[in-house]
């Protein structure tokens, strides 16, 4: 903003200098013209007096002695003229810079008129133009003009800065507020200030943020309800599988064992019974895995911390080639559902991906509470994830569950390691009721 004002100030000074050079120079010449004419009249009168005098030389000497050394009119003899003051000293008053004098220089200001005796030129009447007062006056005027322009520039710049600030600052606040809204932050209101149009825009943006905040909360409540209903359905299904299918499989297994013991001498029938027993045991293991995937019932009995430790022990048995380390906060056992289910599922799904897809040599599991935030992190040194497939089907489902609890789930690749990071509000540990 001040750059155009500075350029305008410089242009005004240049224009002022041009106008001074055009008009002030002619004005100085016109102001000294009467003095030049007076000098010419003095020279003419002296020549007339010398021509009428009986002793012209004596008359001339008397005239020369009558001249004041500080006068603008001086006599310069042809043989040896008097010592004249330097021309620059007559034109350069104290305090006026050289460039300003050069700007206003009046050429041929020293005018000489010949003095004649008996038709012979004996000297000149010289008019020494002293422009010091005029130059000083012009310099003061130039300084006054420059000062006025500077004051006007500063005043105009200050007014423009204040006026633009009163408009730009509210616009900046509005832009920053809209950026926060775009990023999902609806809690920080935009200051309402500035002109009426901008104030109206800020009020509308705040109203939009309030509406989006309510919709976001409603969406989280709906997702939370859906997750709770899903957990209820899984719990009922797991209970039915456990209560109905479990006893049937146990009964079949018991009968098969009895059949195996009684049919050992019968050869081929004993082998078939043995194969049937293996199939029943495999079916029981499959049923337990399904039950664990649907709902790890022992979370309610053991708590989250011990349940996660059990999950890690089972992982070590399934993948002895992967070095698994962990840091599990014992206080996690105090949290309720569905938060406990979500934490357990995130760890379970991440370890499943490590086992199936990562081709990793080591992995680390961490679940702690840091600054009122529950942080879950699973990392491995495997090959990472495809660039076009950040979340698989399992982690996508976990992402929805985490969002329903106002948390975040991210998948990162840092320093040749893959990180699954989950952050959940710690207050959810206290406020979330158990479904059902």
Residue 299, pLDDT above cutoff 50: yes
Assign 3-state DSSP to the chain and report helix, strand, coil percentages, each to 5: 65, 15, 20
Q: Which of 148-152, 172-176, 253-257 has the lowest mean pLDDT?
A: 253-257
Rounded Cα distance, 186 and 215, in Å:
11
261, 357: one domain: no
139, 208: one domain: no
pLDDT digits (tens, 9 = 90+) for 365-416: 999 888 778 899 999 998 877 655 555 666 777 888 888 888 889 888 888 8
Rounded Cα distance, 63 and 122, in Å:
14
- 171 lies in some domain: no
For 338-356, the DSSP string reads THHHHHHHHHHHHHHHIII
What phi and psi, each to the nearest 5 degrees, are found at residue 363?
A: -145, 160
11, 144: one domain: yes
6, 143: one domain: yes
- 179 lies in some domain: no
Comparing 119 with 325, the larger pLDDT belongs to: 325
Half-sphere exposure of 100 (CA within 13 A, CB side): 21
pTM of whole model > 0.75? no
Residue 88, pLDDT above cutoff 60: no
3-state secondary structure of 366: strand
291, 337: one domain: no
Residue with tokens 């000497």: 61
What phi and psi, each to the nearest 5 degrees, are found at residue 258?
A: -65, -40
What is the per-residue pLDDT for 389?
53
Residue with tokens 């059990």: 310
Q: Which residues pair with 418 in a beta bridge?
A: 380, 413
**Mean of pLDDT over the chain:** 77
> Where does a domain end: 295, 317, 347?
295
Q: Which of 16-20, 182-186, 360-364 has the lowest mean pLDDT?
A: 16-20
The arithmetic mean of pLDDT across residues 15-35, rounded, is 66
Residue 190, pLDDT above cutoff 50: yes
Q: Which of 37-41, 225-229, 304-308 has the lowest mean pLDDT?
A: 225-229
144, 268: one domain: no
What is the per-residue pLDDT for 2?
56
Residue in 348, 361, 380, 350 with CA at minimum distance from that of residue 322: 361
What is the per-residue pLDDT for 364?
95
What is the per-residue pLDDT for 106?
54
Answer yes or no: are the C-beta atoms of 327 and 378 closer than 8 Å: no
What is the per-residue pLDDT for 430?
44
Q: Which pLDDT band, with edges at 50, 70 and 90, does 109 fall under?
A: low
Q: Which pLDDT band, with edges at 50, 70 and 90, does 24 fall under?
A: low
Residue 344, pLDDT above cutoff 50: yes
Rounded Cα distance, 401 and 220, in Å:
10
272 DSSP assignment: H
What is the per-residue pLDDT for 380?
93
pLDDT digits (tens, 9 = 90+) for 211-246: 988 888 887 778 777 777 777 777 777 777 767 777
116, 240: one domain: no
pLDDT digits (tens, 9 = 90+) for 252-292: 777 777 777 776 555 566 677 777 778 878 887 787 777 76
251, 337: one domain: no
What is the per-residue pLDDT for 282?
82
3-state secondary structure of 328: strand
391 DSSP assignment: S
140, 277: one domain: no
Q: Which two tokens stand for residue 336?
A: 């309720």
What is the per-residue pLDDT for 87?
42
What phi and psi, each to the nearest 5 degrees, are found at residue 130?
A: -105, 105
- Indicate which CATH number applies to the domain containing 373: 3.30.565.10
The arithmetic mean of pLDDT across residues 302-330, rounded, is 88
What is the per-residue pLDDT for 293?
67
For residue 76, give its domain range: 2-155
> Where does a domain end: 268, 295, 322?
295
The arithmetic mean of pLDDT across residues 122-127, rounded, is 81
pLDDT digits (tens, 9 = 90+) for 44-67: 888 888 888 888 888 888 888 887
**Domain total in the chain:** 3
Answer yes or no: are the C-beta atoms of 47 and 115 closer than 8 Å: yes
E-assigned strand segments in 68-151: 73-77, 111-117, 120-127
259, 393: one domain: no
284, 317: one domain: no
Residue 128, pLDDT above cutoff 90: no
Rounded Cα distance, 356 and 382, in Å:
11
């Amino acid at each position: 903003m001040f750059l155009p004002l500075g350029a305008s100030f410089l242009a005004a000074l240049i224009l002022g200098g041009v106008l001074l050079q055009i008009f002030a120079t002619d004005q100085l010449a016109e102001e000294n013209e009467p003095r030049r004419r007076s000098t010419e009249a003095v020279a003419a009168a002296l020549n007339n007096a010398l021509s009428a005098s009986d002793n012209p030389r004596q008359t001339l000497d008397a005239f020369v002695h009558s001249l004041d050394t500080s006068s603008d009119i001086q006599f310069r003899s042809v043989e040896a003229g008097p010592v004249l003051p330097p021309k620059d000293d007559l034109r350069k008053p104290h305090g006026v810079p050289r460039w300003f004098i050069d700007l206003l220089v009046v050429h041929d200001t020293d005018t000489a008129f010949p003095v004649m005796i008996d038709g012979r030129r004996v000297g000149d009447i010289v008019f020494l133009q002293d422009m010091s007062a005029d130059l000083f006056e012009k310099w003061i005027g130039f300084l006054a003009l420059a000062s006025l322009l500077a004051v006007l520039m500063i005043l105009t710049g200050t007014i423009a800065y204040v006026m633009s600030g009163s408009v730009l600052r509210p616009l900046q606040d509005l832009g920053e507020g809209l950026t926060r809204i775009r990023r999902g932050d609806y809690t920080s209101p935009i200051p309402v200030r500035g002109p009426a149009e901008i104030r109206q825009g800020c009020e509308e943006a705040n109203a939009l943020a309030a509406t989006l905040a309510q919709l976001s909360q409603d969406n989280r409540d709906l997702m939370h309800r859906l997750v709770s209903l899903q957990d209820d359905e899984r719990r009922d299904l797991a209970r039915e599988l456990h209560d109905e299918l479990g006893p049937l499989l146990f009964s079949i297994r018991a009968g098969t064992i009895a059949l195996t013991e009684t049919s050992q001498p019968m050869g081929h029938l004993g082998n078939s019974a043995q194969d049937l027993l293996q199939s029943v045991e495999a079916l029981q293991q499959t049923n337990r895995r399904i039950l664990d995937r649907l709902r790890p019932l022992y979370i309610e009995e053991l708590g989250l911390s011990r349940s996660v430790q059990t999950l890690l022990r089972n992982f070590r048995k399934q993948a002895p080639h992967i070095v698994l380390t962990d840091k599990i906060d014992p206080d996690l056992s105090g949290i309720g559902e569905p938060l406990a289910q979500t934490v357990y599922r995130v760890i379970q799904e991440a370890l499943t991906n490590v086992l199936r897809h990562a081709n990793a040599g080591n992995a680390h599991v961490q679940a702690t509470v840091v600054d009122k935030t529950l942080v879950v992190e699973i990392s491995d040194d495997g090959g990472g994830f495809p660039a076009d497939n950040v979340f698989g089907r399992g982690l996508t489902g976990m992402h929805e569950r985490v969002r329903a609890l106002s948390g975040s789930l991210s998948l990162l690749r840092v320093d040749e390691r893959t990180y699954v990071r989950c952050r959940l509000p710690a207050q959810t540990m206290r406020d979330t009721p158990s479904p059902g």
